[in-house]
Structure 1
């Protein structure tokens, strides 16, 4: 076995130290954490996250996570707050301030104004007796024994702890609000998760004259013309009441040719696949993908409760929609 390089060893030490910091952090999830959650749930405005330097970067991520999981939130730079941005904070909001020392000057400067407005204050601090902690309505301790930096200076383990505490808040609030996968998707409509949870078959399927369909009395050559013209690699076969009774696909054509069937004169009813699998317009497109994959088929017809054809789609349509 090749000996580890000094870089690998140092990397492992950092990860181990930060992992230990997180294990310790879990012991600080107590009544104060519950009180912070209750205050945020009672807030009728937004959660305004404050933080300077590296704590500010962590604060931005926490605000984004809260906002995407059902808790309206945004980040305000404490330095800019003293020069006009304090107007972003209203009396119905709640401030979540992050400071490892608990003595960050830019936050302490605007604190009296925030308190006069009656805004509730939740703090993430590494010093439970700091000036910031003393004025808070709820204190979440995120202190660490040492930073991963060998000089114990660069914020490393402490910022990891603050980030984890922010995630703990977001998830606890998410579950308390009954925030669902669909709610999450609505906040991420452009992402793949949003498409999987918000896009229905009815949003993708071909309708009207674009649906490949022939009568059960048609000949196979008519079905082939319909397949070629509509370009979905299949055609539906309907009875006299326009109910779907069969399907003819590229695969069926290969099987017919292998049997030496007269493709010009045979009726489609003798060559089609009877009682084909179907889907519904109100079914999630992602569920339909799974159905098609499990059946190893490339296309489906969409029907109503009486088996009347409403639409058709294939794997290419699902791929173009970004569901796959």
Structure 2
């Protein structure tokens, strides 16, 4: 479905005196594939580049280098006009249901907007599609004349989901799509996302800082740290046997808290500045098993079994 090769996304900020710009590499040479009808969970601490990667995948941000393929079609270098036919198949559900909906538009106008841009259906056909998708996300068509401020957070997020799915996309970025909701409402929205994925054959990149949520919804998990993917594998493998020290420390507080036989690797310190990343392995300043090699040499991918790999000189799974 989606494949990226050596994708790099940078942005620039002025120095404190305003004389020059600092280049910040938010996404650093990432290679990744997301299959048909697959949910890939993307986890990592705030500021590691998760949302930047997601927006770059669907060209909401312009990559500095690398390639993006959608259904084997290279889309990175396409002009806006040539990329337009792909846009309806590449959609995003944003984090905040309170700011992602235009407060001046009715729900009908919000849901109709995408259809007017991307499809040539008659007004009657579009209205039928809107009513059908509202029913599918458990909302009544009676809401169409109302405005976003009249709804709860959970209802707004369902409207945001309906806005995306009325276009029948193939690939959807879920960028912290339940983090602004309470636990009960978030659970309901998660269940809905899985049902819709199975019903419509969708693929998701599911971005979240909530490891429990990622565990429950994802087929595979990618772990990101300072612009790089540091571990990738099937969910069950990464949860049961994390190979990268960062992954183990990240998941430590959430999973297997009663298993006293497993070695605890506390995640100490703050994430380094993305402007001045540590040399060698970027994680070496916080790693509990750091060695001299980690400080000077950039690690390469090491295979852990058949479906898991880690960007680490000394993967934990190979130490057993």
- TM-score using structure 2 length: 0.22
Q: What TM-score, normalized to structure 1?
A: 0.22
In terms of Rg, which structure is larger? Answer: 1
Task: Determine which structure has the larger helix proportion and give its number.
Answer: 1
